Amino acid sequence: MKLMTLAAGLVLAASAAFADPVEGVWKTQPGDDGNYGLVTISTCGSEICGVLGQGYDAGGKKISSPNIGKRMIWGMKAQGGGAYKGGKIWAPDRDKTYNSKMTLNGNQLKVEGCVLGICRGQTWTRVK
């Protein structure tokens, strides 16, 4: 029993040790409609992905939306030094999917995406 507890503890410690620094909850900048959201970023196998957890209106009031729980980031690959690329990001305010890259700098995450030569970006702030 002690051996199983020790093994479980080592697995948890190893998982925490290998957690990607971008993992966590991020507050987006307001979109075209003034709404913003909280995105939970995690690892999905060897890639980084993100899901919209909650939406808020311009006044900070929770809003209900069919987009809550929807995948926003997928296929992103860590490049080292806080750089991520090769993924996609879906923007709910325009309902468009962009080829994306991200740059992590402390508690700020610069998210950029392009589709057909049209690019846009935001800087997200870490919530937790």
What's the pLDDT at 4? 40
Q: Where does the chain have alpha helices with state H?
A: 2-17
- Is 2's pLDDT higher than 90? no
Domains defined for the chain, CATH in brackets = 24-126 (2.40.128.520)
Residue type, 90: W
Q: Could you tell me the pTM of the whole model?
A: 0.81
Q: What is the DSSP letter of 42?
A: E
How far apart CA 11 and CA 91 sit, in angstroms, is: 36
Round to whole Å and give the CA distance between 35 and 49.
21
Pull the structure tokens for residue 45: 């196998």
Two structure tokens written together for 89: 């990001």
d(CA 31, CA 93): 6
pLDDT in tens, 65-118: 899 999 999 999 999 999 999 999 999 888 999 999 999 999 999 999 998 888
